[in-house]
Structure 1
Amino acid sequence: MNSHQYRAMRDLVLSMDDALPGKFEVTKEGIVHDRAAGVGRHELTTLVVRKRLEHVMPEAIVAHTGKPDVEDETEGIMRRPDVMVIAETDMEGEGAFDPRTLIAAIEVVSRSNPDNDWVSKVRDYPLIGVPVYAIFDPRTATGAVLTDIHPTPDGPRYAARKDFVYGEDVTIGDWTISTDDLPRYRD
């Protein structure tokens, strides 16, 4: 995709923000719509993970939820992680966050589009320089933390993956939190 196409998709996504339910993002493949973002157990999981992280992190580091997006225009990618671990000072300024300032991106897998979290973001986050990507999956009560970006013929990828099941402690960056009693999706 060229920069003109990317900017057109980005402008479309930004114009739909708050006008339609769910979350829209721009990926290498185009626009992705997560219809269930921000509802029920997804949002509760996001809240619990954010609070547990902020309890163990230094005050200058935050587990931010919400806007703005993280964007790398040269790669044609604009994402909005459920939780962004970032230094407060890196939040200053206008517009999207530079993804290279994130300490970690955390996603709670949505029921409506799990491949977005398990496939597309596993590809996109190392490509835009996010050093740690943690996935919490309320469908299966499992997750993974991906780290150690390294070059491959297909572009940067995470070299290390640590899987976990709910009930185990999980380390994201320099901080370890419990996954006890995280919400699960009901059938």
Structure 2
Amino acid sequence: MRDFVQWVEDTLPGKFEITKEGIVHDMMAPNGRHELTALRLRKRLEEMMPEAIVAHTGKPDVEDETEKIIRRPDVVLIAWRDMEVPGSFDPRTLIAAVEIVSRSNPDNDWVGKVRDYPLMGIPVYAIFDPRTGSGAVLSDIHPTPDGPRYATRKDFVYGEDITIADWTIPTDGLPRYGDETSAS
């Protein structure tokens, strides 16, 4: 599947990921509000984090070779030294993954990644949903009969301060889908 995804990524629009259930193809490119949310979150997190840690957006993917899962979070919190690898990032080196829910495939973020990220060993998963102006921070991986799952879920609405790993950031001014304007 990995070879197929690499081949089609150069020929078809959208983003491809390999999940525990198969290949996910999000045909829509992220829109401006999605990218603005990722940028604002990245900047807010980096203001709080020590110099040795970065809030990274973009490639490369995060790959768990054992589970045969390849994901591309919108933002990953990772130490600089853990980025110095050939190929994909090891998910067990991530401090957290942050996703901005896509309009075209919200179940990928709310269902598929909630299943895959603890299986990959990503300790904290923060979900921001511009459709509703709300989200959740999931943490504390624990074993279940169906595999590892997050034990703790803290829901929030935009405007509240939230904690991702060790850092508390504001969520005010994040754009929502359908907003005509968005505050800074």
Q: Same fold (TM over 0.5)?
A: yes
CA deviations over 1:114-150 (Å, ceiling 9, x no partner) = 0000000000000010000000000000000000000
Instruction: Find the partner of 2:40 among 44, 48, 62.
Output: 48
Aligned partner (choices 8, 25, 33) of residue 25 of structure 2: 33
Task: State the SS of the aligned residue for 1:24.
Answer: strand
Q: Choose which of 170, 177, 185 in structure 1 pairs with 2:162.
A: 170
- Contact 1:37–1:110, Cα closer than 8 Å, also in 2: no
Deviations 1:91-128 (A, max 9, x none): 00200000000000000000000000000000000001
Is there any run of 5+ residues in structure 2 with no aligned partner, and where? 180-184
User: What CA distance in whole angstroms lies between the structure 1 residues aligned with 2:43 and 2:173?
Assistant: 14
- Return the letter of the residue paired with 2:62: V
Q: Which of 19-28 and 49-58 deviates more?
A: 19-28
AA paired with 2:167? W
Give the Cα–Cα distance (whole angstroms) in 2 for the partners of residues 37 and 53 of structure 1.
24
| Equivalent position of 2:96 in the other structure | 104
Asked whether the equivalents of residues 30 and 102 of structure 2 are also in contact (C-alpha less than 8 Å), the reply is no
The 2-side partners of 1:90 and 1:158 are apart by 23
Quote the sequence identity (%): 78
Give the length in aligned residue pairs: 179
Q: Which TM-score applies when normalising by structure 2?
A: 0.94
CA contact (8 A) 1:146 1:161 kept: yes
C-alpha distance in structure 2 between counterparts of 1:19 and 1:162, whole Å: 39
Distance 1:134-1:37 versus aligned 2 partners, 3 A rule: farther
Length-normalised TM-score, structure 1: 0.93
Cα shift at 1:20: 2.8
| Alignment CA distance shift 1:18-1:136 (3 Å) | farther
User: Which residue does 1:117 correspond to in 2?
Assistant: 109
For residues 166 and 18 of structure 1, do their structure 2 counterparts lie closer, same or farther at Cα, with a shift above 3 Å needed? farther
Unaligned runs of 5+ in 1: 1-8
Could you say if the C-alpha distance between residues 24 and 148 of structure 1 is closer, same or farther in structure 2, counting changes exceeding 3 Å? same
